[in-house]
Amino acid sequence: MISNNKTAGLFGLAACYCLIAMHVYWPNRGGSGFYLPWNLVGGIFIALFILGAMLLSRPPLAVSGFFNRLVPGALILLLPLLWTKNPWLGEALPRLLGLTLGVAAYFALLQIPLDRLRRRRLLILLLAATVLEALLGLVQYGLLAPGNAMGYNTLKNRPYGIFQQWNLMASFMATGLALALYLLSNRHPLHRGVQWLTSGMLVLAPLLLIVIASRVGLLAAALLSPLQLFMLYRLNRRRAAAALLLLFAGIAAGLLLVMLNGATRALTVAEPIFYRLAYWQEALRMIAERPWLGWGYGHFQHDFLHHFYTTHSSGMESVSISHPHNEILLWGIEGGLLSLSGIALILWGLLRLLRRTRALPLRPAPWLAALPILLHMMVEYPLYLSAAHGVLLLAILRAGDVRCRLRLSPRPQLTLRLLAAGLAALALPYLLNGLHSALIVTAVEKTGLQQFAAMNRVMTPTPWQVRYDYDVQLQRLLQYPHTRDPAALLSYQRWAENEIRVRPDANIYVNLMVTSRLLQQPQRAEDLHRQARRLFPHDARFKE
């Protein structure tokens, strides 16, 4: 545990991330996981937090009922790594590194004593982060001009904050709204700063949710807000009435903006729902086919695409996806019942945590604010797209958790501290190098690979290894008409054959077909063409 007088530095680090680093825009080319620079920044702050907490902790260390199930659950999820081989290992490792860092971060959070005052300060900090993101969303909606530095599309005009994805912004706003309503339930008078933050979020969240028109965000708010308002009404009718008025003001402002500027999206469009249902049905079929150990870590993108077009006609435009839009289904497909048992253990611990601080009989509980993110995980993959969502989820769960002493002798406790600190110390330079690589690769890609000499500054291994290898191989292939070097063709072919075993990509298929013909391999080119026509049925490049 960490003594009370040593927590200020860690809280300052958390404040630096939540109030500054979380909201900084980084140039990027899209993607998920560590291909998004703000996820690397979030990972760097998490690693620093773990390192600081482990250095400051002294026996006895703290754990909790939830953590005691989170750890064995995570270890079960790591087990399939033992029989995962290249090239699929490289696809699975970033996700499992994120999982391990998340478990270590929760362990670090447990070492910090959270009395009532510190718990409120933590939740106020999280609320402030959501308010800042809401203000950024307002700036995007009303002030940014076409061709802005953020690349924000002013024609679609659906604010996404720093996340570059509307549903992420919506679940973040729904989380902020739940935090605001929870903080209002305090029986004591509220500090003026807290009043401003809660009032601002009660207006901004519904306004942005209406403008964004995200189903998952609106659903989370619609489920939670009435329940939280009723809880607040039982405690303080005056605050409940004021909160309701502010919510109505936000709703009215959002509807007015939609009337003036037009709707950004029709909520009645059924197409996205149809796609998700198709993904989930196919995922369940795949789990049923290989129920015990699954299809293998790192295999989802390839095997889902191939499996889908063996059981369906080519009516859907594209099912080349990296995630089934449901976190439980992903682990079930890749790890089978073994991984699902790990997920079940974690969910059991989570249910015990919720039961300990349950909102029934209608008492406010901090974990309610985690529900928008948990709901979002059932229809998309927010933790892969936003480290900020992961930080909020861990911090909110910690605020609702009750810790206890770890009943081990000092030496094993020292070993645990060293393991967590060692993990963070190893992850830190790796993530910093990833941020360095991201800036270089993004800049080179924006020039169309024209200024390729800058790639020599990329240090490998890097979280951007796949993207780096893609650009290196493509650049060598583009130089072939000038160099006529057959080694470039052979190198690209070897790389591409491995790549489509993990991440099938239409552009790689096109280049690989051309390469095979140049290498006098017409039969292989024809096989690739036949396969690509089946996997990408609406791509005109593969038509007869």
Q: What is the pLDDT of residues 293-336, one digit of tens each?
A: 999 999 999 999 999 988 876 555 667 899 999 999 999 999 99
**Given the structure tokens 């489509």, which residue do they identify?**
500
SS3 for 405?
Answer: strand
Domain ranges of the chain: 432-542
Of 452 and 317, more confident = 452
Instruction: Read off the pLDDT band of 362 (50, 70, 90).
Output: low
Mean pLDDT of 406-426: 92
Q: What is the pLDDT of residue 98?
A: 96
Q: What is the mean pLDDT of the segment spanning 434-461?
A: 93
| Residue 149 confidence class, pLDDT cut points 50, 70, 90 | confident
> Is the CB of residue 282 less than 8 Å from the CB of residue 308?
yes
Q: What is the pLDDT of residue 289?
A: 96
- Percentage with pLDDT > 70 across the chain: 95
Amino acid letter at 297?
Y
Of the candidates 268, 273, 176, the one whose C-alpha atom is nearest the C-alpha of residue 221 is: 176
Q: How far, in Å, CA of 215 to CA of 276, rounded?
A: 13
Position 422 confidence tier, pLDDT thresholds 50, 70, 90: very high
**What's residue 189's pLDDT?**
84
Say yes or no to pLDDT of 166 above 70: yes
The confidence score (pLDDT) of residue 398 equals 96
Phi-psi region of 322 (alpha: psi -120 to 50; beta: other; left: phi over 0): alpha
Mean pLDDT score, 60-85: 96
DSSP state at residue 163? T
What is the average per-residue pLDDT within 405-418? 90
**C-alpha Rg value of the chain to the nearest Å:** 25
- 134: number of Cβ within 10 Å: 24
The answer to whether 134 and 21 have CB atoms below 8 angstroms apart is no
Decide: 391 and 17 in contact? Cβ < 8 Å.
yes
E strand map for 333-444: 403-405
Q: Looking at the predicted structure, is the pLDDT value of residue 103 above 90?
A: yes
- The per-residue pLDDT for range 278-300, each reduced to its tens digit, is 899 999 999 999 999 999 999 99
Query: Would you place residue 465 in the very low, low, confident or very high pLDDT band (cuts 50, 70, 90)?
Result: very high
Mean pLDDT across 264-286: 76
**Percent of the chain's residues with pLDDT above 90:** 78
Q: Of all helices (H) and strands (E), which one includes residue 64?
A: strand 62-64
Residue-wise pLDDT tens digits, 8-43: 899 999 999 999 999 999 999 889 999 999 999 999
> Residues 251, 253, 256, CA angle at the centre, nearest 5°?
110
Check residue 311 and give its pLDDT. Answer: 80
At 403 the three-state DSSP class reads strand
117: Cβ contacts below 8 Å, ≥ 6 apart: none
| Contact by Cβ (8 Å): 132, 141 | no
Other CB atoms within a 10 A radius of the CB of residue 126 amount to: 24
Please give the Cα distance from 179 to 166 (Å, whole number). 20
> How many Cβ atoms sit within 10 Å of the Cβ of residue 205?
33
Distance of alpha carbon 165 from alpha carbon 512, whole angstroms: 32
The token pair that represents 2 in the structure block = 């960490």
pTM: 0.94
DSSP 202-244: HHHHHHHHHHHT-HHHHHHHHHHHHHHHHHHHHH-HHHHHHHH
- Rounded to the nearest 10°, the torsion over CA 531, 317, 507, 158 is -160
Q: What pLDDT shows up at residue 360?
A: 54
For residue 63, the SS3 value is strand
CA distance 403 to 410: 18
Q: How confident is the model at residue 358 (pLDDT cuts 50, 70, 90)?
A: low
Mean pLDDT over all residues of the chain?
Answer: 92
CA distances from 439 to 36, 175, 433, 442, 451 (A): 11, 31, 10, 5, 14
Could you tell me which residues are beta bridge partners of residue 64? 403
**How far out from the chain centre does Cα 503 lie?**
19
Q: Name residue, tokens 């903006």.
A: 257
Range with the largest mean pLDDT of 218-222, 312-316, 412-416:
218-222
Taking 90 as the threshold, does the pLDDT of residue 138 lie above it?
yes
pLDDT at 267 over 60: no
How confident is the model over 472-519, as pLDDT tens digits?
Answer: 999 999 999 999 889 999 999 999 999 999 999 999 999 999 999 999
What are the phi and psi torsion angles at 265 (to 5°)?
Answer: -165, 140
The pLDDT assigned to 309 comes to: 85
Cα–Cα distance for residue pair 283/365, rounded to 1 Å: 34
Q: Which of 107-121, 308-322, 361-375 has the lowest mean pLDDT?
A: 308-322
Give the whole-angstrom CA distance, residue 307 versus residue 291: 15
Model confidence band, residue 136 (pLDDT cutoffs 50, 70, 90) = very high
